[in-house]
Structure 1
Amino acid sequence: MGASPTLISSVQRAFRLLEAASAHQNGAPAKQLARETGLPLATAYHLLRTLVHDGYLRKLDDGAFVLGDRLQTLHSTGSGQALLSRVRPVLAALRDELSSAAYLTFYEDGEIRVAEIVDGPRAPRADLWVGFEDAGHATALGKSVLRELDDEARREYLSRHPLHDLTPRTVTTAATLIRQLETTALAPAVTDLEEYAVGTVCVAVPVRSGHTLGSLGVSMPRDQLSRIDEVRELLLPSAGRVTRSLSLTI
């Protein structure tokens, strides 16, 4: 069922008000915006109140309307999507070459977050039964980030994140985790050997987006453990391509 003509015209009027408000660096009052958009004042007032309520506009103390934080969020999200579109082919190539799901994470606002997962029928993703923000110590992707952090940042992260016991193989003490991170034989790659999910192993390497640290990795069934060296050798140049792509200005 299509949108009604009334709804469509309301959306069009709201966009006209946003465009008019964006043309005034210091904002403009409702009467001026109504005049510039050709809208009845009552209609403009109603739409402006709605746009303010939803965060698309902000009303200043002097009564002027300026663009709100919600639009900045949309812009930032759009920029992030444009960046991710550059690296999805790299993740897809990893998936196809290794028949393994590929993952990209970033360390933002003190949390390790999944930015992208590329999987398929022959390369299913791991069962993300615990969010990555609560499992950085147990995933190769999280441990890759933790390994690259300086001592102070790593201690700060671990002070805020309990090392939950997710499987019988999960490391649950900070000292043991740090020792493993600093002595891994596959450096700069790190592994998760059934520490996050029984039956699943993962390998990850660091990437960067400007000053933002992240990680690139793949997950595999436990019976593919013998391929870890092969996986590492494919991940490293792929991580380089991801970092180069993410360093380009949009």
Structure 2
Amino acid sequence: MIGSVQRALRLLESVGAHRDGAPAKQLAREAGLPLPTTYHLLRTLTHEGYLSRENGVFRLGGAVPRLARDEALQNRRSKIAETLRSLCDRVGAPVYFAVYREGEIELVSVADAPETPAVDEWADFRATGHAHAIGQCLLSQLDGATRRDHLDRYPVWSLTPHSVRSRGALLTRLAALDRTARDPLRPVIERQEYALGTVCAALPIAVGPAAATMAISVPLDREDELLPTVERLRREISTLLTSGTFSISI
């Protein structure tokens, strides 16, 4: 299997060296492969979209640029994860990074430590945005139509006795947050609405048009640490954004 992958990659490299494409026999010679093997791999690569064939010559197909995009995406996500691990160490609490993309709440990365574990995602974060600080912070950054569309797809329901009780109550809360959510001095606070025994705070990250947030959580018996900790996170985020070392483009 490894040999097949190596041979396929050699063929892709050979095709990539010819802007106008090349025939199978030429590619076989350049890649140092038997002609039957070359034909088999070319058919497979063409079927998967990595090559295209026209007038007897093979060119790179539409799937090849996607490989580069996927690699770049993975690199950005790795940098985000590394940044969150550093933030977790500095603020002394689990750190969460989430975005609102294509109509969904996406928890991109979480960093925690054995002594400061993250909240267990016992109910899908995407469907319970009304009940956690991350979701409330993201929803508060959306325009009214997008917000209503989200709640049409993911109705409000009580996860705990402390959760918001109705769509109307949530919209009233979000309307108030809408005026303050982009103020980094006013974090979005949630107390046991998603998980009993846990309090959370989320800060909006206003970079470009995307809705994004970083958040922290602490156990209920350490609630007095929540605001000082989120203030440390706010300062760290400000430094990251000012220095340009953090991007939410994913």
With the length of structure 1 as denominator, give the TM-score of the two structures: 0.81
- Matched with 1:158 is 151
Alpha-carbon distance between aligned partners in 2 of 1:77 and 1:192, rounded to the nearest angstrom:
35
RMSD: 2.9
The alpha carbon displacement at 1:29 in A equals 4.9
User: CA distance change for structure 1 residues 76 and 169 in 2, over 3 Å: closer, same or farther?
Assistant: farther
Matching residue's letter, 1:196: Y
Matches for 1:67-216 after TM superposition, within 5 Å: 67-69=61-63, 71-184=64-177, 188-208=186-206, 210-216=208-214
Q: Secondary structure at the match of 1:9?
A: helix
**Does the CA contact (< 8 Å) of 2:94 and 2:216 recur in 1?**
yes
Q: Secondary structure at the match of 2:38?
A: helix
Moved more, 93-102 or 179-188: 179-188
Alpha-carbon distance between aligned partners in 2 of 1:36 and 1:191, rounded to the nearest angstrom:
62
Matching residue's letter, 1:221: P
**Does the CA contact (< 8 Å) of 1:90 and 1:242 recur in 2?**
no
**Does the CA contact (< 8 Å) of 1:100 and 1:220 recur in 2?**
yes
Alpha-carbon distance between aligned partners in 1 of 2:19 and 2:205, rounded to the nearest angstrom:
38
User: CA distance change for structure 1 residues 248 and 106 in 2, over 3 Å: closer, same or farther?
Assistant: closer
* Aligned mate of 2:224, from 218, 223, 226: 226
User: CA distance change for structure 1 residues 177 and 29 in 2, over 3 Å: closer, same or farther?
Assistant: farther
Q: Secondary structure at the match of 2:106?
A: strand
- Matched with 2:13 is 19
User: CA distance change for structure 1 residues 233 and 125 in 2, over 3 Å: closer, same or farther?
Assistant: same
Matching residue's letter, 1:48: L
Structure 2: any 5+ residue segments left out of the alignment? none
The alpha carbon displacement at 1:17 in A equals 1.4
Residues matched between the structures, number = 241
Matching residue's letter, 1:15: L
**Does the CA contact (< 8 Å) of 1:57 and 1:66 recur in 2?**
yes
Question: Percent identity, aligned pairs only?
Answer: 37
User: CA distance change for structure 1 residues 101 and 17 in 2, over 3 Å: closer, same or farther?
Assistant: same
Write the deviation string for residues 31-82 of structure 1: whole angstroms up to 9, x where unpaired.
44334423223211222333345x461435766442343x444433322333
Q: Secondary structure at the match of 2:205?
A: strand
Matching residue's letter, 1:20: S
**Does the CA contact (< 8 Å) of 2:80 and 2:109 recur in 1?**
no
Alpha-carbon distance between aligned partners in 1 of 2:22 and 2:158, rounded to the nearest angstrom:
56
Alpha-carbon distance between aligned partners in 2 of 1:208 and 1:172, rounded to the nearest angstrom:
29
Alpha-carbon distance between aligned partners in 1 of 2:127 and 2:49, rounded to the nearest angstrom:
32
User: CA distance change for structure 1 residues 34 and 148 in 2, over 3 Å: closer, same or farther?
Assistant: same
Matching residue's letter, 1:164: W
* Aligned mate of 2:60, from 66, 79, 90: 66
Alpha-carbon distance between aligned partners in 2 of 1:183 and 1:165, rounded to the nearest angstrom:
20
Alpha-carbon distance between aligned partners in 1 of 2:210 and 2:20, rounded to the nearest angstrom:
33
Matching residue's letter, 1:47: L
User: CA distance change for structure 1 residues 178 and 23 in 2, over 3 Å: closer, same or farther?
Assistant: farther
**Does the CA contact (< 8 Å) of 2:129 and 2:136 recur in 1?**
yes
Alpha-carbon distance between aligned partners in 2 of 1:28 and 1:210, rounded to the nearest angstrom:
43
The alpha carbon displacement at 1:174 in A equals 2.5
With the length of structure 2 as denominator, give the TM-score of the two structures: 0.81
Alpha-carbon distance between aligned partners in 2 of 1:207 and 1:99, rounded to the nearest angstrom:
20
